[in-house]
Amino acid sequence: MPRVFIYDTTLRDGSQAEGVSFTVNDKVKIARKLDESGIDYVEGGWPGSNPKDRDFFALMKKDPLKHARLAAFSSTRRKGMVAADDPHYRDLIAAATPVVCIFGKTWDLHVMDVLRTTLEDNLEIIRDSVAFLKKKKKEVVYDAEHFFDGYKSNPEYALLTLKAAAGAGADILVLCDTNGGSLPEEIAGIITEVRENIAAPLGIHTHNDMDLAVANALAAVDAGCVQVQGTFNGFGERCGNADLSTLIAILSSKLDCKTIPEGRLKALRDTAYYISEVANLPIADNHPFIGHSAFAHKAGVHIDAILKNSKAYEHIDPALFGNHRRFITSELAGKMPFVMKAEQMSLQIDKKSEKAKEMLKALQQKELEGYQFEGADASFELFMKKFLKTYKPFFKLQGFRVHTEKTADGQSRAEATLHIEVNHECRFSAADSVGPVEALDQALRNALAPFYPTLKGMRLTDYKVRVLDTKEGTAAKVRVLIESQDEHDAWTTVGVHENIIEASWEALVDSIEYKLLKDSKK
């Protein structure tokens, strides 16, 4: 059972994806989730390239990861100076991570046209950079950029760059198909030749420009690579990086490799969805292993055959990865996901009970409507408590109105009015603001403040919207996620509706109810 180390670069290479823009807080949340998932390395960013990454590493220093090793990324040092004098290297050391990953030039074309130095100077740059970092007691991952293009152009020189890194003490040499233009047989053939010349452990880093990132990584592992670099959900520049959830699933379940610790495979789907929610980039329904449709059967002959023998049209058991079989005409999801979540909230549900069956049905109904509780535990807890009738509402809405206007002079404004009932008292409240959701939020808080003074200590920290059925454009259902926080916790709530104001209202109300519920337990 060969061990393959999983190196995640969602926070660095993944953030190069068009449309991805992580806040510092997003990065910290993803790093913690990756840590829980059981992968081996988390590459956090490029210290010195921007203040966001500097702040991220400062926060991680205070509260380090528990399982994964944190890596900081950089290039080899600048030409014309020694590594010790390169200001980027000062930032790299200041990040105080156990691991550093630096990329260096392999391809003679890049050395001459991009780096604009001599082939020999590039070797010296690699040696000096690695040696400096080893002196600082770092585990050094050396990413050989454009390795395969470089090897095809000038194999002798490509090997010299690897020997320079290995000779200076690099712990692992990672061969990168940076442009994503190599085929699996090329990858396998070249790695076999490299292994005849290089004794150091090898890793692989692939891109998906030909839809071959996963196949190329597998070919590399087959040829002897022991580390796989990739990103969750395949996020990355252009067509993305090798998708780690797919690779972990194949390596663990089809190739009998040891990747993440046993028992963590079941959380693969949850990790992928969590990262997707934070990045606000949806996972395609047809995503292998973890997608909503990955084990969904539509063809009548398939459904018929599956019912006779599940092996007939499923290559593997979906439950292994936390997914489940679906029949598109009739929703038939398993009970495990919510029983597991309930346990996490200390709500005991016997999964064989009538109650559990009913709850599953109610949950499936919510999911059918577009609710997704993966990223919204607070709403899920409220949903379960309401279902179990252990929940007593703090207030009741009679109705609201929101008015938004843009005038000829280009100014826009919003007003909200609402009626609520608290402890059998009716309250009318109004607020104006620049936007409709904030006006609603303000009006609700104004009405509740006399009854629940602790609400002052809570604020909304993030607000995300996603369209559910993209076919319908603005007429489609939207899902709103609201993140809130007080001085003790942060929590996320969800609302779904065709009307964005109504969906926001739902998430807003859940957020406030969760806060009040939390405080009432004290």
209 binds a second copy (CB under 8 A): yes
Which range of residues in 21-29, 132-140, 197-205, 422-430 is near a second copy by CB under 8 A? 21-29
- Identify the CA nearest to 24 among candidates 48, 49, 60: 60
The two three-digit tokens of residue 281, written as one number: 């980039």
In a 3-state reduction of DSSP, which class is residue 153?
helix
Measured CA to CA, the distance from residue 365 to residue 142 in angstroms comes to 50
**Contact pattern for a second copy over residues 145 through 174, marking x by CB under 8 A:** ----x-------------------------
Please answer whether residues 170 and 130 qualify as being in contact, where contact means their C-beta atoms are separated by less than 8 angstroms: yes
181 binds a second copy (CB under 8 A): yes
- In the complex with a second copy, the residue whose CB is nearer, 67 or 79, is 79
Measured CA to CA, the distance from residue 338 to residue 146 in angstroms comes to 45
| Environment class of 21 (CB within 10 Å of its CB; exposed 0-12, middle 13-18, buried 19+) | exposed
How many residues appear in the chain?
522
120 binds a second copy (CB under 8 A): no
* Of the residues 133, 214, 265, 496, which one makes contact with a second copy according to CB under 8 A: 214
Q: Which of residues 491-520 bind a second copy (CB under 8 A)?
A: 497-502, 504-505, 508
- In the complex with a second copy, the residue whose CB is nearer, 210 or 340, is 210
Sign, Cα dihedral of 193, 199, 200, 203: positive
- Identify the CA nearest to 204 among candidates 183, 226, 182: 226
* Of the residues 408, 423, 424, 522, which one makes contact with a second copy according to CB under 8 A: 408
Measured CA to CA, the distance from residue 138 to residue 310 in angstroms comes to 49
DSSP 260: S
284 binds a second copy (CB under 8 A): yes
**Contact pattern for a second copy over residues 86 through 115, marking x by CB under 8 A:** -----------------------xx--xx-
Q: How many residues bind a second copy (CB under 8 A)?
A: 130
CB of residue 101 to a second copy, shortest distance in Å = 15
424 binds a second copy (CB under 8 A): no
The two three-digit tokens of residue 44, written as one number: 């956090």
CB of residue 231 to a second copy, shortest distance in Å = 11
454 binds a second copy (CB under 8 A): no
The two three-digit tokens of residue 151, written as one number: 């090897």
* Of the residues 308, 392, 521, 522, which one makes contact with a second copy according to CB under 8 A: 308
Please answer whether residues 476 and 467 qualify as being in contact, where contact means their C-beta atoms are separated by less than 8 angstroms: yes
Q: Which of residues 241-280 bind a second copy (CB under 8 A)?
A: 243, 246, 249-250, 254-255, 280
99: left (phi over 0), alpha (psi -120 to 50) or beta: beta
388 binds a second copy (CB under 8 A): no
* Of the residues 470, 487, 521, 522, which one makes contact with a second copy according to CB under 8 A: 470
- In the complex with a second copy, the residue whose CB is nearer, 348 or 407, is 407
CB of residue 429 to a second copy, shortest distance in Å = 14
